[in-house]
Structure 1
Amino acid sequence: MNKKAVGFVYALLTVIILSACSTEEVTTNHSDPQVSVSTTVKPLTKKEFSEVEISELTSPSKQDFRKVHVVLTLRGTDYLSNIQVKLPNYKQAFNNMKDDQQIRYWFGSGADEEQENKNIYTREFVLYTKDLNDQQIKDILATGKIKTSWVLKDTKTKNQEEFAAGKNIKFEAK
């Protein structure tokens, strides 16, 4: 083999070895968490309906109510600190629908859970949906934005992102 070819092979191997040892990729791998959002709208069970305060309604039925279950999961959180998540104010959105004088958001609850390398934010609420169709419910759920922010532990860089709350909305049969 001639000297130029040997020199080229030697230089190429050196570049490959040095790039394999680079730490640049390590810090960028963990800069942003993976985010998934799912929303399920389903009918109430008999037990759930029995717990709903219906005294101010005229002839309500179980079919007049639906439960909304929203789950936001952030994966890759081991490299993050000061994680902040702000979910949409669905109570305000449903109770202030245009041309609708009805109270729609009945009650709700939520939970935040930290697991190994992921955080899960869950919100569940009951809606009075009489005279609303699935598209109207979906439109209101889709208008909200989920706002997140965090600090990268290694660089102390603060990041923030917004995600559409209306992704992956599923309706279960009444």
Structure 2
Amino acid sequence: MRMRNLRGALRFLLLVSALCVAGEAMSQSYFFTLSGAPSSVTCTTTSVSWSTGTLGVRWNLPSGSQAYERETAGAMVVYENTSPVPDVGFPASGTISGIANTSTWPTPLAMPYTYTYSFTSLYPGGTTSTYSLDCVGGVGTNLRISNGARFTTATIPMLGAWALAALIVILAASSLLVLRRRRAV
């Protein structure tokens, strides 16, 4: 009779432990978001320069993943890079505001053309954010920002304090059952 009660108690504790673990599941939200605009954009046949304004970026990316950056002017790829996250000067999360930059390329390109910067997280489910503008007569116009949707990691079950305590009790009770059976044999 005592053995049956002990087994019932163990089953109950196992159920409670499973429910506690399910309640502690966790997933992380990741993103790369561009916002704002430069104060001015100057275009030539071999470069695009934007001055400090409100153009900024915020990101939270999975450590151990990779990021892919690509710049195009017209149909020409002017920059392409894949780098690990985190990398030197690029932590897994952060914010940069007031971005000013110049992008250059060796082969002249006739105006008008469209300049596009894109950032893609290569993590499964990762999305792409883009910043593009039209270069017409030496001036950048028609700024467009398209941010990729947030994405998440797979849900990782975590043991909470109650689940851990229940697991310890289950293991201790199981050990006692095994020891009692060995003594009885």
Report the TM-score range of the alignment, normalised by the length of the smaller protein. 0.3 to 0.5
Give the alignment's TM-score, normalised by structure 2.
0.34
Give the alignment's TM-score, normalised by structure 1.
0.36
User: Between Structure 1 and Structure 2, whose CA radius of gyration is higher?
Assistant: 2
